[in-house]
Structure 1
Amino acid sequence: MNRPQVVAHRGASHDNPEHTLGAYVAALDDGADGLECDVRLTADGHLVCVHDRDLRRTAATKGIVSTMDLAELDQLDFASWKNPWRDLDDEAPDRDDRLHRVLTLRTLLEMVADYDRRVEVAIETKHPTRYGGLVERRLVELLHHFGWDRPGSPARVMSFSWKALQRVEKRAPGVPLVQLVEHAHLWPMLSRVIGPDWLVGPGIDELTEHKKLGPRITSAGHDMHVWTVNTPTELDLCLQLGVKAVITDRPAYLLELLDDRGL
């Protein structure tokens, strides 16, 4: 039984505001092998690490990411939603606001590139979006800037859209691709259109509910990167299935569980 790669989902997001620099610093401090992020394109062409199309949940505004410039997003607080009572806690440490503003993908990749050990990055492009394939084009351009658009790259690209992944494959055939699977019943169709060397990323709930899904994916010759794995039971299922990477909100906890299992 091999030890899977532990990838921090939106950073160490169980304890920190997701997609903030602080969450990713915490994940690296925890020892995460990789970092996962979602990216969206701003109105002025910057890729930012934000999951939702609007900002009501994480920045308390009705603004839409794709209609706002980076400078506008940079004025927003992306951290207070996680702990709205923080200002009333006299024992809370002082907060460095630089760690809790909107995070550009470039900044995240710069941190990874400068880190003192290899860290991999799983980048999910969100669709549908008003910018269509421009998202993947900008992403490949940024990966090229870092020299990460070729075999051996620490970056991989994920999406629920197989067309989006095909766009990346065309522009950067050396970058690993992960076809995300939200519903088990979609696998027979996806299995016919994805590349033979693509990775597959099913959700842990689907693997749990549909016992045949995992074996069907592996028997088709695809390694699995599974989201979002946060409990001992979920981890054990992934270990039984030979999953290559587990994407988790709790990287420190999963690393501890793996150590306890002698892996």
Structure 2
Amino acid sequence: MQLIAHRGLARTVPENTLAAFAAALSSGFDGLETDIRLCADGEAVLCHDRITPNGAPVASLTRKALSHQLGYLVPTLAEALDAFPEALWNLEIKSPDAIKTAFEIIAASRHTPRILLSSFRHDIVLAAAELLKVDCALLVAHHPASLAGLVQQALPHERLRSIVWDFEIIDTALLEQAADLGFRSYVYGAHTQYEHAFCRDYQVSGIITDHPEFVGLTPVPALQ
């Protein structure tokens, strides 16, 4: 089971920063999950929320202005991939306006075998599976009435054989059905030791977590 740090290890530093990523890898995580948005000056930046605490859309701010509002230097996708080339990256594209820039950066990366691209926008994932030489995953936060129907469009794409599930909606039957259809399962949103143990016992392909202590890792403080 691959251990992936959700937005890095953000216990003493802001999430989705180079410091949070470094702390996660130093603690023993295999990989890093992060979120890609496009800011006003065309930079693909790593930021989860669509709106800043001051109420401004990320898309309306330059990277400099966004960093000023958040109180730390917001990294770009290119900077993060360059800084940690050996890490497994789960890159979540949050919005369609980031597709062109993010795809160009990912395509130019020397480390595409270590990228799992995902999105709740399944049209983005299908486009990535068609255009990029990276593994792709459908992000799913609902229990589908028909899993076969959900993954039908993914089947022609050999690189689209993963699903990232919200822990809230999974059960053993759903995970087994995904495996029977040829899909690897990753899980995010587990918050207790029991929930992490469920993922481990079922042997999901990876868990995306904020809790190193529940997967046998000792958190290493990030450098300030």
* TM-score bucket of the superposed structures, by smaller chain: 0.7 to 0.9
Looking at structure 1, the residues matched to 145 and 14 of structure 2 have their Cα atoms a distance apart, in angstroms, of 32
Cα contact 2:90–2:117 (8 A) shared by 1 = yes
Is 1:125 matched with 2:93?
Answer: yes
Cα contact 1:148–1:175 (8 A) shared by 2 = no
1:98-137 map, 5 Å: 100-113=72-85, 118-127=86-95, 132=96, 134-137=97-100
Post-superposition offset of 1:154: 1.1
Match of 1:256 among 192, 212, 217: 217
Post-superposition offset of 1:226: 0.8
Q: Which has the larger radius of gyration?
A: 1
- Give secondary structure in 2 for the equivalent of 1:224: strand
Post-superposition offset of 1:41: 0.4
Match of 1:241 among 202, 206, 222: 202
Looking at structure 1, the residues matched to 30 and 197 of structure 2 have their Cα atoms a distance apart, in angstroms, of 19
Looking at structure 1, the residues matched to 203 and 215 of structure 2 have their Cα atoms a distance apart, in angstroms, of 16
1:25-70 deviation digits (Å, cap 9, x = unpaired): 21111111000001100111111111111011xxxx1111011111
Please give the root-mean-square deviation of Cα atoms over the aligned residues, in Å.
2.0
Post-superposition offset of 1:17: 2.3
Looking at structure 2, the residues matched to 143 and 176 of structure 1 have their Cα atoms a distance apart, in angstroms, of 12
- Give secondary structure in 1 for the equivalent of 2:69: coil
Looking at structure 2, the residues matched to 160 and 187 of structure 1 have their Cα atoms a distance apart, in angstroms, of 17
Match of 2:115 among 151, 155, 165: 155
Residue aligning to 2:143: 184
- Give secondary structure in 1 for the equivalent of 2:190: coil
Q: Percent identity?
A: 26
Post-superposition offset of 1:158: 0.6
Match of 1:35 among 29, 32, 37: 32
Looking at structure 2, the residues matched to 135 and 231 of structure 1 have their Cα atoms a distance apart, in angstroms, of 33
Looking at structure 2, the residues matched to 16 and 190 of structure 1 have their Cα atoms a distance apart, in angstroms, of 37
What is the letter of the counterpart of residue 50 of structure 1?
C
In structure 1, the gaps of 5 or more residues are 79-99, 258-263
After TM superposition, the score normalised by the length of structure 1 is 0.75
In structure 2, the gaps of 5 or more residues are 219-224
Is 1:67 matched with 2:26?
Answer: no
Post-superposition offset of 1:187: 5.2
Cα contact 1:226–1:243 (8 A) shared by 2 = yes
Post-superposition offset of 1:232: 1.9
1:202-260 deviation digits (Å, cap 9, x = unpaired): 111111xx442211111211111110234321122112322011100123542339xxx
1:132-181 deviation digits (Å, cap 9, x = unpaired): 3x4222112101222245xxx21120111211011112221x20001111
Cα contact 2:38–2:58 (8 A) shared by 1 = yes
What is the letter of the counterpart of residue 242 of structure 1?
Q
After TM superposition, the score normalised by the length of structure 2 is 0.87
Match of 1:212 among 169, 173, 180: 173
How many residues of Structure 1 are paired with residues of Structure 2 in the alignment? 214
